[in-house]
């Protein structure tokens, strides 16, 4: 009886030892897991930071490539614009060359006729010189070369487009100087281009007092003065009349130009007539004179030159002035 109890106690101790070892092992596993968990989290965070940094670098690289592509695209667009401008310029040169070529293909009879006309003009010029050798104008004649010089104020309206500035500009300056010499003493001068842009912004809307210094300054600035112009004198004439007309002040406008590429001659003439109104005697507010430069004839654009001549003849005839067409650029 006692021996059986002893065996039972020994079994119970072994069982308790096994259970304790098992619980200890579980506790050890829990302790190991808890100890390793912070390191795993830190490692995961480090991996995330590395991934974010890598993605940021990749994003920066993509942005850099985008900037390079944008610059390349802008450069390509600039090249295309320059190419378009070059093509337009070449087409213009081609049209001019074609015009010259077509003119050179005119029949010989035209050349012969042209020579006859030139010879006739020379003979007429000689005859006129002989007839005028002993001519003396009347005392009350106030014209020079057929142009009335009875004004006390003069306004130049000059076409500053490329065909004028890059062509006969020295001739333009000479003609301006000649007009100023025709008027040895006046009260005021103004200079503007076809679009009504004043040569001297500080004198916009005011007369430039006449003096040798003022005339010389006008000629100095005129040498390099080329604001944008659309080769239509209507805006400049309107600006001159609307700004400077005053009752009792005789004013003459001198229009310098070479072509009239667009618009209707009669429409422009009527527009100017509405501004430059006539009094009961038919006298206009201002005289309008014109000087035509034959750049279009040498360049093959005869139509534009003829349109300008027709326009200025009409304007001068209806506004008490005279149109002078230069026969040569020399």
Q: Where are the domains of the chain?
A: 12-96, 152-325
φ and ψ at 298, to 5 degrees? -75, -30
Model confidence over 255-311: pLDDT tens digits? 999 888 888 899 999 999 999 998 888 889 999 999 999 887 765 667 788 889 999
pLDDT of residue 125: 47
Model confidence over 37-49: pLDDT tens digits? 566 666 666 677 7
In the chain, what percentage of residues exceed pLDDT 90? 37
Using alpha carbons, list the distances in angstroms from residue 35 to 12, 31, 38. Answer: 34, 6, 7
Query: Residue 208 is encoded by which pair of tokens?
Result: 């430039």
pLDDT of residue 76: 77
pLDDT of residue 118: 46
Give the helix ranges, DSSP H, for 166-256: 169-182, 212-222, 234-244
Mean pLDDT, the chain, integer: 78
Residue 84, pLDDT above cutoff 70: yes
Contact 329, 167 (CB under 8 A): yes
Model confidence over 99-158: pLDDT tens digits? 555 544 444 434 454 454 444 444 444 544 554 455 454 454 455 555 667 789 999 999
Q: CA 66, CA 112: separation in Å to the nearest integer?
A: 69
CATH code 3.40.50.620 for 152-325: no
Model confidence over 187-196: pLDDT tens digits? 999 999 999 9
Q: CA 285, CA 73: separation in Å to the nearest integer?
A: 57
pLDDT of residue 291: 93
Per-residue pLDDT band for 329 (boundaries 50, 70, 90) equals: confident
Please tell me whether residue 267 adopts helix, strand or coil conformation: helix
pLDDT of residue 109: 38
């Amino acid at each position: 009886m006692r021996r059986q109890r002893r065996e039972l106690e020994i079994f119970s101790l072994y069982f308790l030892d096994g259970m304790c070892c098992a619980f200890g092992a579980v506790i050890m596993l829990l302790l190991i897991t808890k100890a390793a968990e912070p390191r795993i989290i830190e490692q995961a965070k480090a991996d995330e930071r590395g991934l974010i940094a890598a993605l940021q670098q990749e994003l920066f690289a993509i942005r850099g490539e985008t900037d390079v592509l944008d610059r390349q695209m802008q450069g390509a667009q600039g090249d295309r614009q320059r190419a378009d401008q070059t093509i337009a310029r070449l087409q213009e040169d081609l049209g001019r060359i074609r015009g010259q070529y077509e003119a050179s293909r005119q029949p010989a009879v035209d050349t012969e006729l042209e020579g006859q006309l030139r010879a006739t003009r020379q003979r007429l010029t000689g005859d006129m010189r002989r007839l005028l050798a002993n001519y003396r104008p009347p005392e009350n004649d106030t014209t020079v070369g057929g142009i009335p010089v009875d004004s006390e104020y003069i306004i130049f309206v000059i076409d500053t487009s490329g065909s004028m500035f890059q062509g006969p500009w020295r001739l333009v300056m000479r003609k301006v100087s000649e007009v100023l010499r025709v008027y040895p003493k006046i009260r005021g001068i103004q200079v503007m281009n076809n679009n009504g842009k004043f040569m001297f912004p500080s004198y916009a809307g005011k007369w430039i007092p006449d003096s040798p210094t003022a005339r010389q300054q006008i000629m100095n600035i005129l040498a390099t003065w080329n604001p944008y112009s659309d080769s239509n004198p209507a805006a400049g004439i309107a600006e001159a009349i609307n700004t400077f007309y005053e009752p009792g002040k005789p004013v003459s406008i001198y229009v310098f130009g070479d072509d009239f590429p667009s618009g209707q001659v009669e429409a422009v003439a009527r527009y100017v007539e509405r501004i430059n109104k006539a009094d009961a005697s038919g006298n206009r507010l201002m005289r309008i004179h014109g000087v035509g430069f034959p750049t279009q004839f040498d360049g093959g654009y005869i139509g534009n030159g003829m349109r300008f001549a027709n326009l200025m003849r009409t304007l001068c005839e209806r506004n008490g002035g005279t149109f002078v067409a230069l026969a040569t650029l020399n």
